[in-house]
Amino acid sequence: MSPHTVEIEVPEECDIEQAGETVEMDVPEDEYLLAAARDRGIWLPADCQQGWCTTCAAELLSGDVDQSDSRRYYEEDREADMILPCTAKPRSDVTFEACQYEEMLDLRAEHDQPPGRSKR
């Protein structure tokens, strides 16, 4: 299986070297998006790297990911196109916007799901 093309849109307010840029990388289906990015020097925010804390949250703009390795990922997250790159493997070419932690907290709070309830 050939790797998928993954584009990461990094917002200006994201506190990493590539802020304001769109970066592209090839990612095989068995590699997590976060690890793939970090291997290429793109230090997206992350903490647990188990799909638990939502520090790495991002918005999926196009494509499909396998999020089944995440320890806590809800149907509502998927419906809102929010992903956890630390435990997301590409299932097609993918474009996502990084650094969406605050948005993820709002979404979780809206659905009364952790984390978020304790912070909002």
Please identify, among the stretches 7-15, 22-30, 47-55, 105-113, the one whose residues bind ligand FES according to the rule CB under 6 A: 47-55
Q: 67-86 mask for ligand FES (x: CB under 6 A)? A: -----------------x-x
The number of C-alpha atoms within 13 Å of 65 and in the hemisphere containing its C-beta is 33
With vertex at residue 64, the alpha carbon angle to CA 60 and CA 66, rounded to the nearest 5 degrees, is 105
Q: Are 11 and 20 in contact (CB under 8 A)?
A: yes
Please identify, among the stretches 1-9, 35-43, 45-53, 97-105, the one whose residues bind ligand FES according to the rule CB under 6 A: 45-53
What's the min distance (Å) between Cβ of 51 and ligand FES? 5
Q: Does 55 bind ligand FES (CB under 6 A)?
A: yes
Q: Does 47 bind ligand FES (CB under 6 A)?
A: yes
Q: Does 16 bind ligand FES (CB under 6 A)?
A: no
Strand partners, 23: 8
What's the min distance (Å) between Cβ of 47 and ligand FES? 5
Question: Whole-angstrom Cα distance, residue 18 to residue 8?
Answer: 10
Q: Which long-range contacts (CB under 8 A, 24 or more apart) does 113-120 make?
A: 113/74, 113/76, 114/72, 115/53, 115/54
Residues at the interface with ligand FES (CB under 6 A): 46-49, 51-56, 84, 86
